[in-house]
């Protein structure tokens, strides 16, 4: 299966879930036009409280649709957009990609992966049992965060459901995604 966009979302308010859209507009260096997390500096409320001058490494949130399938198999029915993602993908293991990977869309829009979403108590408040379901351990006992990846917008443009994604790996030795 070719990596593609399954659905897109945005919300102008700081709510847990986001609203489906027919298209989102990515703005270079800012994020998703009309989304509460759009900005040069950090927009997540907890991060703003720590230091509002931090660069915004969390402009775009991507989740692989396969996670929703995995959750459903565990009896947790989570609908697209409910985890606050901007882009829901299919056919790509986002969590396995290294830092600096770029995803290019047909419009020329491009995002660069910066790290992993760190699931917080809001996930558990949304649905009991969900926090444990989006956290796991690998063979070495290391914590695995499955709640998606974060990215910055390198090139602006529209992104819509059905768009194919081109994966551009960074040069040099790969660096594993860490929480941002």
Contact residues for 116 (Cβ-Cβ < 8 A; gap 6+):
95, 145, 147, 148, 149, 150, 177, 178, 179, 180
Identify the pLDDT of residue 46: 83
DSSP-derived pairing of the beta strands 60-64 and 87-90: parallel
Domain boundaries defined on the chain: 4-168
pLDDT tens-digit profile of 79-90? Answer: 999 999 999 999
Spatial distance between the Cα atoms of 50 and 81, rounded to a whole number of angstroms: 27
Identify the pLDDT of residue 58: 96
CATH topology of domain 4-168: M1 Pyruvate Kinase; Domain 3 (2.40.33)
Mean pLDDT of 116-132: 93
Candidates 80, 79, 63; CA nearest to 149 is 63
pLDDT category, 1, cuts 50, 70, 90?
low
Identify the pLDDT of residue 47: 83
pTM (2 decimals)? 0.96
Spatial distance between the Cα atoms of 64 and 148, rounded to a whole number of angstroms: 7
Q: Is the pLDDT of residue 167 over 70?
A: yes
Let me know: does 87 contact 157? Beta carbons within 8 Å.
Answer: no
């Amino acid at each position: 299966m070719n990596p593609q966009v399954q659905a897109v979302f945005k919300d102008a308010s700081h709510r847990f879930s986001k609203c489906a859209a027919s298209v989102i507009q990515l703005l270079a260096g800012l994020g998703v036009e009309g989304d509460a997390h759009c900005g040069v500096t950090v927009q997540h409320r907890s991060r703003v409280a720590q230091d509002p001058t931090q660069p915004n490494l969390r402009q775009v949130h991507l989740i692989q649709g396969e996670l929703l399938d995995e959750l459903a198999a565990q009896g947790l029915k989570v609908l697209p957009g409910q985890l606050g993602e901007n882009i829901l993908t299919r056919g790509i293991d986002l969590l396995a990609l290294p830092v600096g990977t770029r995803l290019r869309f047909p419009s020329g829009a491009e995002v660069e992966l910066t790290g992993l979403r760190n699931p917080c108590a809001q996930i558990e408040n949304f649905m009991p049992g969900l926090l444990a379901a989006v956290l796991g351990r690998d063979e070495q006992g290391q914590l695995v965060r499955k709640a998606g990846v974060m990215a910055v917008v390198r090139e602006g443009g529209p992104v819509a459901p059905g768009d194919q994604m081109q994966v551009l790996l960074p040069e040099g030795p790969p660096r594993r995604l860490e929480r941002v």
